[in-house]
Structure 1
Amino acid sequence: MGPSLLRIAPADPREYVEQMVGSLMAGESVVLRPQGLEIEEDPAVPILRGFEPRADLGPCILIATGGTTGGIRFAIHTPSTLWTAAQGFAQQFRQWPRRHVSPLPLEHVGGIMPVFRAIAAGGRAVFADYKDWMEKAPSENELPSIVSLVPTQLRRLMNSETGLAWLHTFRCILMGGAPLEETDRNRARELGLRVSPCYGMTETSAMITVNPPEAFLAGDDTVGLPLPHARITLLPPEQRIIVMGDMLCHGYWPVRPDFSRDPLFTGDRGAWEPAGHLRVLGRLDRMINTGGEKVDPSVVEERVMTLPGVTEALAFGLDDSDWGQRLVVAVAGELEVTEDAVWSALRETRRPCEVPKTLRLWPWRLPRTGTGKPNWRRLRSAFETDAPPAAE
């Protein structure tokens, strides 16, 4: 039979959560359906229908993740893994408000975890659309709350008068999904916003480190101390971040349904600060983080390379003040290759974040250096002008 696929529209989050809880209590696994995954027609459905949890796990919660291999991939969690993370957060921050506001999509781990954290703290989860905050000011008696945001949301709210008023009502603004740009960090501090940078991922049941607002406002740009449920080490020589703990997912469906959960080798580099805080230094691979969504550029490139006449494709991220990184793709091909055909191929994805913001088409080949490596200077400059790329 396979797992239940939650089909509730984002406008009805309470029913979404009720269906999830009801299915789990009935012993059924559930899939937090990602945006763009259609239930009836999508080819992912037969794959999901074939999922059966290990006997020792019980009902599972499948959460989509970008990962590093592309394709359809779901982290296999259980109520226990998510509950472990929620309890660790509640244990660390007993004095924080117990009211958790979630404006993030519920199919993301960052959207569903505030529900678990609120329950673990004996509080309440509140669902909201952050765009509403840019149109209607908060009331004078808003209750003390914790909110979870990604940098793009924070940036847009800071640029809105009523959005900024909402930000000032929150006792803690948990910031995940992607690092905050320096300009956003500085502005948040100038505005006195109680931002709390975090580090985590779908595989770790969201955050495993938290930097309290007081430290952030004092100029600390780290992601803080590990939470009680997480053990973090750095593997030399590249200082890869290694994570251990009972909150880790049990595997990926369908590519690696059963692997040793302990430890998790991330694709990030880190460093320990003297106070024991973790500083994330960047990615060890080519993963692009755009608006809090992780995109593997090779997935985009492979989609373009299926087109007849295409000879090369290179996807990469450019710094962007709104998205953190803006996904772009450079394509080379025979003269009959058209931009319309390339765009059509690029849009054949279930993840909107995998559709580049900009496309540049070169005749025959992409610019390269004398050693045959991509000429990054010329490639990047081509996306800063409207002029068509010159033939190589």
Structure 2
Amino acid sequence: MAVPATASVRDPDRYRPPAITGLTDLLDRQVRDRPHARALIVTGDRMELSYGALDHLADGMAARLAGTGLRRGDAVGLVCANTAEFVVALLGGARAGLVVAPVDPALPESQMSARLEALGVRAILLGPPAGGAAPPAVWARVPAWTLRVDVSRAGTATAALETGAGAVPHVQGAADELSGHDALVLFTAGTTDRAKMVPLTHANVAASVRGICATYELGPGDATVAAMPLFHGHGLFAALLSTLASGGCVLLPERGRFSAHTFWDDMRVAGATWFTAVPTIHEILLERSAKGFTGPRVPSLRFVRSCSAPLNTATQRALERTLGAPLLSAYGMTESAHQATSEPLPHHGPLKHGSVGRATGVDLRVLDQDGRPCPAGAEGEVWVQGPTVARGYLGNPAETAHSFADGWFRTGDLGSLDEDGYLFLTGRIKNLINRGGEKISPEHVEDILAGCPGVAEAAVFAVPDATYGQRVAAAVVLSGGEGTGAEEILRYCRGRLAPFEVPDRIRIVASLPHTAKGGLDRAAVDALYAH
């Protein structure tokens, strides 16, 4: 693909990723060389917070936490939307030697408490919830301390943490496995009984940030808008930490969450040169582009990034035409501190739409069912090894033994590598539909359905069948104003899928459920439609 006219080209031989060792020195270079440069743009008034001011707030937070009785290696929960409070709590906690565990503030009380209790946090840092909602109820066995950051129009800022006078209790939990080398505990996507706790060291964090910065050549001239939540790896590593480490600027949207209504104005205010999001957000932006994208009033984008779920190739190409910049698909997971592969910037190599690019700072292999390497183009399970990969799961030795072996992580994803080392994902092993012995990837069928005129989104799932064991079904969301029906969709599929892959049942629905990261919530889809 040719490089769009607005995509600037940098010299890859001169680029050097930031020399950091973890969260504690993430800001050091910028504070030393560019203390007055903007680091964050926050609140609905879009106040600018410099690197020097952010560093001062983080140091103050570290000192406040050090006086509470918490010890190096202790875990603290962080329940907060995408606000200045999240960033200050994260960096301050790290400087105090604590291990910070961000939690989705929108979780139901039962799920939030179950995660915090299983980890065994000794305190909880509370910031503003997303969208001005009521503060969440959290696990009551440990203190919950409210954090508030105020930023003036002059760029000065203060932070207050209400800790009270009580001592922090010691509680039993998986946090007993942590040490001072650990920086974060992230929860994998899933319900309470399936979410796993992933410990990431400062070395894991540093390797991830350096890899992301090197892939996209991020630097002080870059800026972005945080469209993704910061309690997951996508928003945390790709948007926030990599931007701050490389000297750029992050705009945190008003009310701490993505809004399609304000997104392009936020991009203009930030002078954004790139952004990263899940396909669901890209679809929303594309659908609204006729009236929401302001063209010349939006800064020239170097690139756009998509991760956390498969991106339909048609959407990818349509967005590139609309935005005038390459849209790069990436692949990552919590267990690899987010990014494992990415399509390269155009001057680094060819774009292969449909792939998720080449390895970035890790080693990849694709193995068959007998553990043997697959030849180029053959499908197998994707394994990842490298400095970003976690050591295992906390409090779950059985799952650790199953998923981690000799430094390699078994992703559970199916894919193939081509001759140039580009990875093409074909689905999840656990999602495969078994129709009379024929293994069907729902992700592949969804990709075909998404290309049907009039289809906005699709979810493919198995339904029980007395003869075949399972049959293929689909729930489909139609584009606004389209008159497409089930028969037209099936006719489209029959020309593009093997007969056994064509859905036996199409159900037209108003919307589909999504996880907090923006991916399709397959468990919820099954509960709603697989009966």
Superposed displacement of residue 28, structure 1:
1.8
- Matching of residues 347-362 of structure 1 within 5 Å: none
1:223 maps to 2:339: no
Deviations 1:14-68 (A, max 9, x none): 1111111211221222211123053898333321211325465534411111379
SS class of match (2:259)? helix
User: Which of 282, 294, 298 is matched with 1:154 structurally?
Assistant: 282
Paired residue type of 2:232: H
The answer as to whether partners of 1:189 and 1:217 remain within 8 angstroms in 2 is no
Paired residues in the alignment total 320
Q: Distance in 2 between matches of 1:177 and 1:41?
A: 22
Superposed displacement of residue 119, structure 1:
2.9
- Matching of residues 1-392 of structure 1 within 5 Å: 3-8=75-80, 10=81, 13-34=83-104, 35-38=106-109, 42-49=113-120, 50-52=173-175, 54=177, 58-66=181-189, 70-94=193-217, 98-113=222-237, 114-128=239-253, 129-133=257-261, 137=265, 143-161=271-289, 162-165=291-294, 169-191=300-322, 192-212=324-344, 214=346, 220-227=353-360, 229-236=361-368, 238-256=379-397, 262-286=407-431, 319=446, 321=450, 325-326=458-459, 368-370=465-467, 373-376=469-472, 381=504, 384=507
Paired residue type of 2:98: E
Structure 1's 182 and 3: CA in aligned 2 closer, same or farther, altered over 3 A? same
Structure 1's 28 and 40: CA in aligned 2 closer, same or farther, altered over 3 A? farther
Superposed displacement of residue 193, structure 1:
3.9
Structure 1's 263 and 325: CA in aligned 2 closer, same or farther, altered over 3 A? farther
Q: Distance in 2 between matches of 1:254 and 1:323?
A: 40
SS class of match (1:241)? strand
SS class of match (1:275)? coil
Structure 1's 324 and 208: CA in aligned 2 closer, same or farther, altered over 3 A? farther
Structure 1's 245 and 82: CA in aligned 2 closer, same or farther, altered over 3 A? same
Q: Distance in 2 between matches of 1:268 and 1:68?
A: 19
SS class of match (1:326)? strand
Structure 1's 278 and 287: CA in aligned 2 closer, same or farther, altered over 3 A? same
SS class of match (2:431)? coil
Structure 1's 241 and 25: CA in aligned 2 closer, same or farther, altered over 3 A? same
Q: Distance in 1 between matches of 2:268 and 2:250?
A: 20
What TM-score comes out, normalization by structure 1 length?
0.68
The answer as to whether partners of 2:462 and 2:470 remain within 8 angstroms in 1 is no
The answer as to whether partners of 1:369 and 1:375 remain within 8 angstroms in 2 is no
Q: Distance in 2 between matches of 1:53 and 1:287?
A: 37
The answer as to whether partners of 2:413 and 2:427 remain within 8 angstroms in 1 is yes
Q: Greater shift after overlay, 198-207 or 181-190?
A: 181-190
Paired residue type of 1:252: Y
What TM-score comes out, normalization by structure 2 length?
0.52
Structure 1's 376 and 220: CA in aligned 2 closer, same or farther, altered over 3 A? closer
Superposed displacement of residue 176, structure 1:
0.2
Superposed displacement of residue 243, structure 1:
0.5
SS class of match (1:43)? helix
The answer as to whether partners of 2:224 and 2:270 remain within 8 angstroms in 1 is no
Structure 1's 264 and 324: CA in aligned 2 closer, same or farther, altered over 3 A? farther
The answer as to whether partners of 1:68 and 1:287 remain within 8 angstroms in 2 is no
Structure 1's 37 and 45: CA in aligned 2 closer, same or farther, altered over 3 A? farther
Q: Distance in 2 between matches of 1:6 and 1:285?
A: 31
Q: Distance in 1 between matches of 2:287 and 2:508?
A: 27
Structure 1's 29 and 142: CA in aligned 2 closer, same or farther, altered over 3 A? closer
Structure 1's 95 and 16: CA in aligned 2 closer, same or farther, altered over 3 A? closer
Deviations 1:338-378 (A, max 9, x none): xxxxxxxxxxxxxxxxxxxxxxxxxxxx5x2435x124369
Q: Greater shift after overlay, 80-89 or 237-246?
A: 237-246
* Residue matched to 2:168: none
Superposed displacement of residue 202, structure 1:
1.2
Structure 1's 182 and 132: CA in aligned 2 closer, same or farther, altered over 3 A? closer
Q: Distance in 1 between matches of 2:231 and 2:266?
A: 26
The answer as to whether partners of 1:65 and 1:202 remain within 8 angstroms in 2 is yes
Deviations 1:161-209 (A, max 9, x none): 3543478743221100111113312322433342111111111111121
Flag structure 2 segments of 5+ consecutive residues without an equivalent. Answer: 1-69, 121-172, 369-373, 434-441, 476-502, 510-530
Deviations 1:100-155 (A, max 9, x none): 43210111111111222113323233323442445764686752422111001011
Paired residue type of 1:201: M
Paired residue type of 1:44: R
Q: Greater shift after overlay, 131-140 or 276-285?
A: 131-140
Flag structure 1 segments of 5+ consecutive residues without an equivalent. Answer: 289-315, 331-365, 387-391
Structure 1's 287 and 27: CA in aligned 2 closer, same or farther, altered over 3 A? farther
Deviations 1:61-118 (A, max 9, x none): 1111137995232221123212211112223433665324321011111111122211
* Residue matched to 2:27: none
Paired residue type of 2:467: G
SS class of match (1:285)? helix
Paired residue type of 1:286: N
